[in-house]
Amino acid sequence: MIERATDKSSLIDLLEPILAAVAELDPASRSDAAAQAALVRSLADAFPFDGERVQAIGATIEAGVADGWLCDRGDADARFSRVAKPSPATHNMSIDVVRLRGAALRHRHPKGEVTLGFAVEGSPDFGGEAPGWIFAAPGSTHVPEVNGGRMNLIYFLPDGAVDWNPPAAD
């Protein structure tokens, strides 16, 4: 049985096989729709949403929020925390957790973003996607938004690459 993590360090340990898989799948190279869909499929096959590891991650996030070591900054509708900066221990991924209802800040993903989302309240979606594995393509710009409830989201960013001030859309 996979136990839930009790702090950020043990959460990184729990995430290790996922971090290795994400790094191997090279999100920054997934520029076309077929390659992007293949990345999501690969993660869903290796780490099914209803599987023991993913459910332990979801339980860890919920407990971490309740205990105050995750999502300890922000406002009532958008709480967030940094789990880790990119490093060899995280396969050069930054790891962030957000508890979101409604819209967050517009930003761009130079190297893509892999997200694992969990429903907290209602029947939420994240940018139109149901809870589970979600991928934002390299170079994509979006306003992350949860509709229909609230979600806990864990993000993996290759090299921590994010642009918080992307040019305005034409």
Do the domain assignments include residue 3?
no
Do the domain assignments include residue 19?
yes
The domain that holds 32 is classified in CATH as 2.60.120.10
Give the sheet arrangement for strand 93-103, strand by strand.
73-75, 78-84, 93-103, 145-158, 113-126, 132-136
- State pLDDT tens for residues 17-31: 999 999 999 999 998
CA dist 26 and 111 (Å) reads: 9
Domain ranges, residue 27 = 8-158
State the average pLDDT for the chain: 95
* Alpha helices for 26-123 (secondary structure H): 33-46, 52-67
State the DSSP code for 2: P
How crowded is the C-beta side of 46, counted as CA atoms within 13 Å?
Answer: 16
Do the domain assignments include residue 169?
no
Q: What is the pLDDT of residue 166?
A: 76
Give 164's pLDDT tier (boundaries 50, 70, 90): confident
Give 130's pLDDT tier (boundaries 50, 70, 90): very high
Sign of CA dihedral 43, 49, 51, 55: positive
pTM of the shown model: 0.94
Do the domain assignments include residue 36?
yes
Do the domain assignments include residue 166?
no
Residues whose CB is less than 8 angstroms from the CB of residue 99 and which lie 6 or more positions away in sequence, other chains included: 65, 71, 78, 79, 80, 120, 150, 151, 152, 153
The whole-number average pLDDT for the span 138-160 is 96
Do the domain assignments include residue 85?
yes
Do the domain assignments include residue 114?
yes
Q: How many domains does the chain have?
A: 1
C-alpha distances (whole Å) from 87 to each of 15, 23, 163 are 14, 12, 19
Do the domain assignments include residue 165?
no
Residue 170 has pLDDT above 90, yes or no: no
